[in-house]
Structure 1
Amino acid sequence: MSVTAKICGLSTPETLDAAIRGGASHVGFVFFPPSPRSLSRERAAQLAARVPGRVIRVGVFVDPDDALLEASIGAGELQTLQLHNTSPARAAAIRAGTGLDVWAAVAIKTRGDLAMAETFTGAADRILYDAKTPPGATLPGGMGVRFDWSLLQGFRHPLPWALSGGLDPLNVAEAVTITGARMVDVSSGVESAPGIKDVTKITTFLDTVKAL
């Protein structure tokens, strides 16, 4: 089976085009103002118009309210919603209310953290295993932090899942080998500075994934 990849936090036509050209299955648009990757509705609409039908547009949110969701879904022509710091009950309500696929991010540091994945059964369509960010961090992800990938070995996943957290062109092959992931998600690992995506790094990451 091949491995698919989502490039998250895209904010310019050049980097979006590199992700599409490189074979990304999903592209991520962030709607969370504290993030350096956050998009205005206007920019989201401009970028969404460049995405071909074969690539899925994912909106990334942190416990969003209905007004933000409605505006962002329309602007970004979103097909999937990635939710961070969102309870299973709220995720289920968003899934039912929008009719869109929902990914629930589960932050991992210890084996015990994996238990949270089970609570999203029936509330989400996919689990995104991400790394817990350091205490005091203002962002739930996109900080280049990875977790111990061996924690996923032998774990019975309750839902389809993707691997995130600290991935980059140099370690993604190892991460897939250890975890058996069939989908990977990268953001800061293909940046030259926080929020600034790098065309060469995006291309290298996707070339590496295609070779797996």
Structure 2
Amino acid sequence: MSYGLYRFMVPKIKICGLTNLEAVNAAVKNKVDYISCVFYKYSPRNITPQFAESITEEIPNRIQKIAVLSTYESNIEDIIKYYKPEILQFHSDEEVDDILKIKSRFGLPIIKTIRVNKLEDLKVINKYSEIADMYLFESYSDNNLYIDKPGNKFDWSLLKKVKIDKPWFLSGSLDKYNVNYARRVSGAVMINASVTLESSPGIKDPNMIEDFIKSVRNPNY
């Protein structure tokens, strides 16, 4: 595919780790496709299912809600009850059987996060292929899955070197300056941004969200 044609493909955008109503409203205003809240006590983006419900209850149906969690957490029932996600994203090193039990119980699609540093890391796709409906590829984060910082990138072109037979998101320090280059070299048509849109750890900046989405929708922005 030529870059000229690629530029006009409309990518799907996911904003992750929303923790306040202002950020949610900015995502909605700029027509994001997915939003996600994080439910993990060690994350600076962790919020309760009840609070997640309060800041997302009025989003339009066209936006899908994703819950970022781990099978090691015990509040999955509350996440389903209050936040009402359409998709579950497992972000740790969960066992396949543990994810399968949750998928079978709640009947929700699964995104499996895969951390990438080198080509060999992508072999783990095979481990989760039977239970994952989508993947999200991101960089390692200082040996902590939930404490990310700008600059944690990986070689996005690695994703063109493997066969990925399901939809997938590109993540890992994407910002308004590098996102279109990252899409081009990786082939991504679904993207995820989080820490690069924060004014302080865990706090998304509405203006940064707007600038990011505009840069994706209009590469000449």
> In 1, Cα distance between the equivalents of 2:146 and 2:127?
19
Choose 139-148 or 187-196, whichever is displaced more.
139-148
Which residue of 64, 80, 84 maps to 1:77?
Answer: 84
Per the alignment, in what secondary structure is the counterpart of residue 119 of structure 1?
helix
Is residue 2:66 matched to residue 1:58?
A: yes
> In 2, Cα distance between the equivalents of 1:192 and 1:26?
21
Deviation at 1:205, TM superposition (A): 0.7
Is residue 2:128 matched to residue 1:124?
A: no
> In 1, Cα distance between the equivalents of 2:104 and 2:41?
25
Mapped contact 2:42–2:146 kept (Cα < 8 A): no
Mapped contact 1:63–1:84 kept (Cα < 8 A): no
Which residue of structure 2 aligns with residue 46 of structure 1? 54
Structure 1 residues 143-182: aligned runs within 5 Å: 143-144=149-150, 145-182=152-189
Deviation at 1:116, TM superposition (A): 0.5
> In 2, Cα distance between the equivalents of 1:143 and 1:15?
19
Which residue of structure 2 aligns with residue 4 of structure 1? 12
Per the alignment, in what secondary structure is the counterpart of residue 107 of structure 1?
strand
Which residue of structure 2 aligns with residue 195 of structure 1? 202
Residue ranges of structure 1 left out of the alignment (5+ in a row): none
Per the alignment, in what secondary structure is the counterpart of residue 63 of structure 1?
coil
- Identify if the C-alpha distance between structure 1 residues 165 and 141 changes in structure 2 by more than 3 Å, giving closer, same or farther: farther
Per the alignment, in what secondary structure is the counterpart of residue 137 of structure 2?
strand
Mapped contact 1:91–1:104 kept (Cα < 8 A): no
Mapped contact 1:118–1:158 kept (Cα < 8 A): no
Per the alignment, in what secondary structure is the counterpart of residue 185 of structure 1?
strand
Per the alignment, in what secondary structure is the counterpart of residue 7 of structure 1?
strand
> In 1, Cα distance between the equivalents of 2:71 and 2:118?
23
Mapped contact 1:141–1:165 kept (Cα < 8 A): no
> In 2, Cα distance between the equivalents of 1:94 and 1:158?
23
Deviation at 1:40, TM superposition (A): 1.5
- Identify if the C-alpha distance between structure 1 residues 77 and 5 changes in structure 2 by more than 3 Å, giving closer, same or farther: same
Q: Let me know the Cα RMSD of the aligned residues.
A: 1.5
Which residue of structure 2 aligns with residue 97 of structure 1? 105
- Identify if the C-alpha distance between structure 1 residues 211 and 26 changes in structure 2 by more than 3 Å, giving closer, same or farther: same
- Identify if the C-alpha distance between structure 1 residues 196 and 84 changes in structure 2 by more than 3 Å, giving closer, same or farther: same
Structure 2 counterpart of 1:143, one-letter code = K
* Identity rate, percent: 30
> In 2, Cα distance between the equivalents of 1:141 and 1:108?
16
Structure 2 counterpart of 1:192, one-letter code = S
Deviations 1:144-199 (A, max 9, x none): 31111111123210321111111111111111011110100010011111111111
Deviation at 1:210, TM superposition (A): 1.3
> In 2, Cα distance between the equivalents of 1:132 and 1:63?
20
Deviation at 1:141, TM superposition (A): 5.7
Which residue of structure 2 aligns with residue 87 of structure 1? 95
State the aligned residue count: 209
Mapped contact 2:43–2:147 kept (Cα < 8 A): no
Is residue 2:192 matched to residue 1:185?
A: yes
> In 2, Cα distance between the equivalents of 1:36 and 1:19?
19
